[in-house]
Structure 1
Amino acid sequence: MSKRLHILLGLAIIFCVTLFFLAVRSYGSSSWQTWQTKYFEAQIAELQGNLTKVQGEEQAAKLKQEIKDWQEKKPTVQEIRLANGSIERCTTCHLGTEEISKSHPSDMGCTVCHGGNALSLDEKTAHEGMYGGGHPGQLEVARLSCGGNSAVGQCHSGNKNEIDNQVDLMTTSLMASKGGELSMSRYMYGLDIPPKVLLKPGETAAKVQAPFDHRVEESKFQQNCLTSCHQAGGNLPGQQAQANGCESCHVLSNSTHTYVGQDVTIPKQKPDYGISHKLTVQIPYTQCNQCHNQGEAKLYTMDFTPRFDLNRVKSSPSPDKESLETRWQNVYSPGLVFTKCEVNLDCVDCHTRKEAMGDGEMYFSEWKTLKIQCQDCHGSTVSQPIEWKITDKSDMAWAEARINPDFPPLKMGDVILKTAKGEELPYVRLENGKWFSYRKTNGEKFSIPQVIGSKCRQDPAKQSSDDCHKCHDVSKDKPSSGGE
């Protein structure tokens, strides 16, 4: 062997040894042991708190043994083995993170949604390349996170069935694009007559450079209207937390937007987090109210006035701990009129999937986007609601019903409701000749009164909510009035 080859071999050995020692040093000096120790301490503190509440020696002895087990634990590298055989070590630090949902089990791994470096035990390198800076639901990265092709298969984009392509459809939603807000505001200012759709799917109104053609109202329109809510980077009205696309609805948050779960790496007092590391389709009105019904927007001055009772609304109780009177107080801003069913139910119980998530078409107004009217559930003086019989498991309603754990399972031959615009509503069922709606948040069953056979004298041609509000109205000022 030549002298030059000996030198090259020696340098290669030195290089490999150096890499090895650097890896060992990084492994030994990383903070993952500290995080695990803090997690152990948190579990011990919780158990010790429970120890003061238990009754009986047997229960106390059991808790004492659990405390001892945690006290004896030593930090160890945690690994998740995915279905394809690859390994992730994220839970080495995030030891207390919650299971996301039944459809997103932990063996899917973390990087499929969050991105990042799955094998690193160093915080900086582990978080490099994370989607949305830790918020993978942001619309700019949703196709990579929520929609991307992964080790677990195709997710919420690029599938054969439309209902499984939520990320693709969301790019056309008014909530994502705010296209209606832009189009109708320009129309009311005389800039576009008739109103026009200025955006393409995937574009957001907040990114339009000159929404008001450089009029004096333009900066206030951008600040007070377009750069908030579901679009990434916007601050929720009256709050410090940012809205982050898909997470705005599907990750429930409290009034302070702080985390209260078991992951000790997340600071409990820092805003911009959900209550826990969980996703849900059971979205209560209190979540919707974090953007909607927050106050009064004045179009001609482009000012936003927060509602005076906002503090009470932000601290409203969970759906299972509130009365109907409480909901009357919390659902809508003072002065607004609504029907009783709009208060008994949650927003998602009336607004359809296509209304909220988009249907592939870009619309210039909320009215154009709506898929449902009062007559779709209640019928009219001349017609019954439209029935739809389930005869095939490929039916879109079948897929939609299965994602909510509180829906009664659909069976072949079940009759559901279909709106006049053709959207199926699997949560509205015909049972023994009567229509019932199941609340999406908890499965509560409501009877749907029908116009035919009642004293209602509606005009079948007038089906807007304002038309029905003329007779069937309640408000905070008169909560007990209005027709049933």
Structure 2
Amino acid sequence: MLRRLRAVILVPFLLLAGCGAGGGENGSCLTCHRGIEHASPAHPRCVSCHGGNERARDKESAHREMFAPRNPSDPRSWEQSCGACHPWQLARVKGSLMQTNTGMIKNIQLTWEGEDGRLYGSRRENVHTADGKERQLAAVTELDNVSGELYRKFCSLCHVGIENSYAYDVGHSAGCAACHFPWNDTGTYAGGDLTMKGRGPASASHRMTGLPGNDVCFRCHNRSGRIALSYMGLNDGNTAQVPTRNGFPGPLLTSGNRSVTRITPDIHYAMGMDCIDCHTSRDIMGDGYAYENLYHQVEIRCEDCHGSGTELPRWREIVRENEAPVRESRQYRRQMRPGMRMIVTGKGRPYSNVFYENGQVRLVGKRSGRLYVSKVITGTPAHTVAGHDRLECYSCHSRAVVQCYGCHTNYDKGRTARDFVKDMDTLGLFTESEDYRMLYPFPLALNQRGKISPVTPGCQTFVTVTEMDGRVSKEGYVTTFKGKQQLRFAPFYSHNTGVKAIGCGECHANPAFLGFGQHEVEGRNIAATMLCPKNEEKPLDGFQTLEGGKVRAFSAVTREHSRPLNEAEVMKVWRANLCIVCHTRPDDPIYRKELDYRALDDALHRRILAVGGTRVAR
């Protein structure tokens, strides 16, 4: 009886005490949110990030002045929350392509309507360009045409400024939390706070992730170029929901009910390396400057760690205790210190985890602490082949390059769809389908650096437009690029690198590598075999033809200074086959200098050529 009486007296007392019963720092917050994970030792107070009143006695008062109840790092409040303590980091993120998506918006414009002289971002923002000039980005909400609408309804969910709670397996928060408070597949809280348990959209835990893992990168980089899939050895090929094993789709499924099969992963992934082990914080969060395209912001190169055929990796010694590698490595398993020789990036800035030690280039995993030795290829025969100085490393060392051919986009003006930037439904629904996807072989062309690199369709679009009254006003037309109706390809690094390079004979003897697509050789002509009903004269998977021995390009390669190989370059590639059939190894001394085809006139080569293929086959 006495026990019951105590309980009756105690319950009203607790109800009167309310959330503030705990008192003190975080008192009212932790009274309700018992079991919640500490964000990090450097973030002790709830109100420092969330705002609100930690001493209030009821929920309404405690929450009244919160910046954002679920996510204080949302761009609508990140100046007050994250930016209050991290102004430099916030300034970098605000101007980075991860937030502005300027390059994506610009290239959609080029594909659909052409530039209008303005530079757009995810929102109106004053930024500084690399030459020190201030420039204002117009908000993409002001881009009142089809390209602006396409970005807002299709592409915008993959920038960090918008929360993506619409898709299984790829959801993420907005702002800084997009990377530092990862979601699980369902976007629901799974931590120890019972008031939030199972609720969403929310991060899986309230514990901050200072160093994001590959799963965080996968959230966005699994579509379009699909570099996260390729890196991890996954491919959502042409199977869709077609059964691949025992009558079931899969063996894995990802967002959009895509069936995912396994391919050989990137060698760096196979060795246990995370995306952030190669990519610097400046690659991801920006360096304070605003760039118009991703390849301007990304500063790393294969040559940084492995050297080139003629130059060793460069390094710079840490001389002060406050330099960037020392500061950034404080949360790594191994910290950098003054006196260490840090490898530098393509922009001459030091890595925070790659250094020169005991005659070796070494990399320490930022999250794992594992130590890797980077093989330096400078001076090796295979990397000093005459004429290969214009090749990007990944032209030879890519195992697979995702290529999506025949993207058919339907735009229905009479139906509504979600505008994720405006956060409302508006007229205009986009739907897409594609003809074919493949991984190998992949075409090569000149990229924006003047180097020969893989290219992939970007964007290879056939558009059908349905008017408000249901009338089809345009059907399967090719959009205009640089004043012409033409398909287009874009330079690309697939993130599926292998140790073993593509064989010399494959690249030099297969016209598909030079942009002719799947084909049949007929005399001095190359006839395409992969044709689309909307474009019957030209192949989807190529950008040039051979007619009467003449090379003619019919599709564009986007990005400045980029283009298909011209006729002289194509013929030079093919002529090397005269030597490759016998001299099959790249370390053969004849490849140390420019090939001299007059040597074929000597007595030895005349005898070989006289017997045709018989002697060669032996």
Tell me the TM-score normalised to structure 2 length.
0.53
Q: Which residue of 2 aligns with 1:380?
A: 308
Deviation at 1:391, TM superposition (A): 1.3
Deviation at 1:292, TM superposition (A): 1.2
Q: Which residue of 1 aligns with 2:111?
A: 188
Contact 2:140 2:148 (C-alpha < 8 Å) held by counterparts = no
Correspondence for 1:424 among 350, 362, 365: 350
User: CA separation of 1:334/1:192 partners in 2, compared to 1, >3 Å: closer, same or farther?
Assistant: farther
SS of structure 1 residue aligned to 2:252: helix
Contact 1:206 1:227 (C-alpha < 8 Å) held by counterparts = no
Contact 1:178 1:204 (C-alpha < 8 Å) held by counterparts = no
Deviation at 1:334, TM superposition (A): 7.1
Contact 1:176 1:204 (C-alpha < 8 Å) held by counterparts = no
Whether 2:274 is the aligned partner of 1:346: answer yes
Correspondence for 1:246 among 146, 156, 176: 176
Contact 2:356 2:362 (C-alpha < 8 Å) held by counterparts = yes
Measured in 2, the distance between the counterparts of 1:337 and 1:205 equals 41
Measured in 2, the distance between the counterparts of 1:386 and 1:353 equals 19
Deviation at 1:99, TM superposition (A): 1.8
Aligned ranges 1:413-452 → 2 under 5 Å = 413-452=339-378
Contact 1:147 1:156 (C-alpha < 8 Å) held by counterparts = yes
Whether 2:285 is the aligned partner of 1:357: answer yes
Aligned ranges 1:141-160 → 2 under 5 Å = 141-148=77-84, 155-157=85-87
Query: Which moved further from structure 2: 94-103 or 165-174?
Result: 94-103
Structure 1 gap segments, 5+ residues each:
1-24, 33-75, 82-86, 149-154, 158-164, 298-305, 316-329
Q: Which residue of 1 aligns with 2:149?
A: 219
Measured in 1, the distance between the counterparts of 2:225 and 2:346 equals 32
Measured in 2, the distance between the counterparts of 1:204 and 1:260 equals 41
Which fold has the larger relative contact order, with Cα–Cα distance below 8 Å and residues 6 or more apart in sequence? 1
Q: Which residue of 1 aligns with 2:317?
A: 389
User: CA separation of 1:428/1:292 partners in 2, compared to 1, >3 Å: closer, same or farther?
Assistant: same
Measured in 2, the distance between the counterparts of 1:419 and 1:225 equals 30
Equivalent AA in structure 2 for residue 184 of structure 1: N
Q: Which residue of 2 aligns with 1:272?
A: 201
Contact 2:324 2:352 (C-alpha < 8 Å) held by counterparts = no
Contact 1:388 1:418 (C-alpha < 8 Å) held by counterparts = yes
User: CA separation of 1:240/1:411 partners in 2, compared to 1, >3 Å: closer, same or farther?
Assistant: closer
Q: Which residue of 2 aligns with 1:473?
A: 398
Larger radius of gyration: 2
Bigger proportion of residues as helix: 1
Tell me the TM-score normalised to structure 1 length.
0.66
Deviation at 1:206, TM superposition (A): 10
Contact 1:176 1:231 (C-alpha < 8 Å) held by counterparts = yes
Correspondence for 1:483 among 483, 500, 508: 500
Deviation at 1:170, TM superposition (A): 0.7
Deviation at 1:243, TM superposition (A): 2.5
Give a deviation string over 1:119-159, Cα, whole Å, max 9, x none. Answer: 113122211222223201212211211121xxxxxx201xx
Contact 2:169 2:254 (C-alpha < 8 Å) held by counterparts = no
User: CA separation of 1:110/1:252 partners in 2, compared to 1, >3 Å: closer, same or farther?
Assistant: same
The alignment-based identity, stated in percent, is: 24
Contact 2:32 2:195 (C-alpha < 8 Å) held by counterparts = yes
Deviation at 1:227, TM superposition (A): 4.1
Equivalent AA in structure 2 for residue 78 of structure 1: G
Equivalenced residues, count = 366
SS of structure 1 residue aligned to 2:49: helix
Contact 1:241 1:257 (C-alpha < 8 Å) held by counterparts = yes
Correspondence for 1:369 among 293, 297, 300: 297
User: CA separation of 1:313/1:77 partners in 2, compared to 1, >3 Å: closer, same or farther?
Assistant: farther
Structure 2 gap segments, 5+ residues each:
1-11, 128-134, 227-235, 241-248, 402-438, 441-495, 502-618
SS of structure 1 residue aligned to 2:378: coil
Equivalent AA in structure 1 for residue 351 of structure 2: L
Give a deviation string over 1:174-227, Cα, whole Å, max 9, x none. Answer: 11111111122213335228995666347998952243x423x54333111124
Measured in 1, the distance between the counterparts of 2:56 and 2:39 equals 22
* Aligned-residue CA RMSD (Å): 3.8
